[in-house]
Structure 1
Amino acid sequence: MNPNKVIAALFTVALPFVVNAQNIPTSFNNPLNVALGDPYVIYDEETARYYMYGTGGANHGFAAYSAKDLMNWKPEGQVYYASNENGWSDSTAAWGGAYWAPEVYAHKGKFYMFYSAQWKDNPGGELENFRIGVAVADRPTGPFVDLPSGPLFDPGYPIIDANVYFADDGRIFLYYSRCCYKHPVESEVASWARQKGWFDEIEESWVYGVELKPDFSGIIGEPVLLLRPPVEMTNAQAEWESRSVTSKEVNRRWTEGSFTFKHEGTYYMMYSANHFAGENYAVGYATAEHPLGPYTKAANNPVLEKNTASGGNVTGTGHNSVVFLPGGRMLCVYHGRTKKTGNERVVFIDEMEINDNGVLKVMGPTTAR
Structure 2
Amino acid sequence: MNYNKLILFFICTVLCQTVVRAQQNPKNPLDIPLGDPFVLFDESSATYYLYGTGGTENGFVAYSSNDLNSWKKHGVVYTAKQPKSWGTKDFWAPEVYHFKGKYYLFYSAHWKENPSNELENYRIGVAVSNSPVGPFEDLTGAPLFDPGYPIIDANVYFADDGKLFLYYSRCCYEHPVSSQIADWAKEKGFFKEIEESWIYGVELAADFSGVLGEPKLLLRPPTSLTDSQSEWESRSVTSREVNRRWTEGSFLFKQNGLYYMMYSANHFAGENYAVGYATSGSPLGPFKKSPSNPVLEKNTDNGGVVSGTGHNMVLRSADGQLWCVYHGRTTKTGDQRLVFIDRMSVQKDGKLVVHGPSVQREGSTK
Q: Which bin holds the TM-score, normalised by the shorter protein?
A: over 0.9
Q: How many residues align?
A: 344
Residue 28 of structure 1 and its aligned partner are, at CA, apart by 2.1
Aligned to 2:74: 76
Q: Which residue of 1 aligns with 2:24?
A: 26
Which residue, out of 33, 40, 45, partners 1:47?
Answer: 45
How far apart are 1:85 and its partner, in Å? 2.2
Question: Can you list the C-alpha shifts for 1:9-49, whole angstroms capped at 9, x where unaligned?
Answer: xxxxxxxxxxx755414122111111100000011123321
One-letter amino acid of the counterpart of residue 106, structure 1: H
TM-score between the two structures when normalised by the length of structure 1: 0.92
Q: What is the CA-CA distance between 1:57 and the residue it aligns to?
A: 0.3
TM-score by length of 2: 0.93
Distance in structure 2 (CA, Å) of the matches to 1:336 and 1:250: 19
CA displacement at 1:323 relative to structure 2: 1.2
Structure 2 distance, partners of 1:82, 1:228, is: 32
From 134, 137, 141, give the equivalent of 1:145: 137
Let me know the Cα RMSD of the aligned residues: 1.0
What residue in structure 2 maps to residue 249 of structure 1? 241
Partner of 1:213: 205
Q: Which residue of 2 aligns with 1:365?
A: 357
Cα 1:147–1:220 change in 2 (3 A) is: same
Shift of 1:224: 0.1
Residues 1:144 and 1:326: Cα distance change in structure 2 (over 3 Å): closer
Matching residue's letter, 1:38 = D
Q: Distance in 2 between matches of 1:251 and 1:39?
A: 26
Q: Describe the superposition over 1:302-357 as per-residue Cα deviations: whole angstroms up to 9, x where unpaired.
A: 00000011110100000001111356421111000001111000001111000000
Write the letter of the residue equivalent to 2:342. Answer: D
For residue 108 of structure 2, the aligned residue among 112, 116, 133 is 116
Counterpart amino acid of residue 72 in structure 1: S
Mapped pair 1:304 → 2:296: yes
Give the match for residue 162 of structure 1: 154
Aligned to 1:343: 335
Q: Distance in 1 between matches of 2:167 and 2:191?
A: 30
Does residue 236 (structure 1) correspond to residue 195 (structure 2)? The answer is no
Q: Which residue of 2 aligns with 1:35?
A: 33
Tell whether the 8 Å contact from 1:21 to 1:326 is kept in structure 2 after alignment: no
Give the letter aligned to residue 175 of structure 2: H
The aligned residue for residue 4 of structure 1 is: none
Percentage of matched positions with identical amino acids: 64
Q: Is contact 2:41-2:317 (8 Å) kept?
A: no
Unaligned 5+ residue runs, structure 2? 1-17, 362-366
Q: For 1:154, give the aligned amino acid.
A: D
Question: Which of 318, 321, 324 does residue 329 from structure 1 map onto?
Answer: 321
Tell me: higher relative CO, structure 1 or 2? Use CA pairs within 8 A at least 6 residues apart: 1
Say which is worse superposed, 64-73 or 175-184, in terms of deviation: 64-73
Name the CA distance, whole Å, in 2 between partners of 1:113 and 1:341.
Answer: 29
Q: Find the structure with the greater CA-based Rg.
A: 2
| Match of residue 5 from structure 1 | none
Task: String of CA shifts for 1:246-295, please: whole Å, max 9, x gaps.
Answer: 00000000000000001111000000000000000000000000000000
Indicate how the Cα distance of structure 1 residues 169 and 316 shifts in structure 2: closer, same or farther if over 3 A, else same. Answer: same
Q: Give 4+ residue runs of structure 1 displaced > 6 Å after superposition.
A: none
Q: How does 1:70-109 map to 2 (within 5 A)?
A: 70-90=68-88, 97-109=89-101
- Kept in 2, the 8 Å contact 1:23–1:68? The answer is no
One-letter amino acid matched to 2:75: G
- Is the Cα–Cα contact under 8 Å of residues 50 and 66 in structure 1 kept in the other structure? yes
CA distance in 1, matches of 2:125, 2:318: 32
Deviates more, 1:20-29 or 1:161-170: 20-29
| Deviation for aligned residue 1:52 | 0.3
Partners in 1 of 2:212 and 2:276 — Cα distance? 28
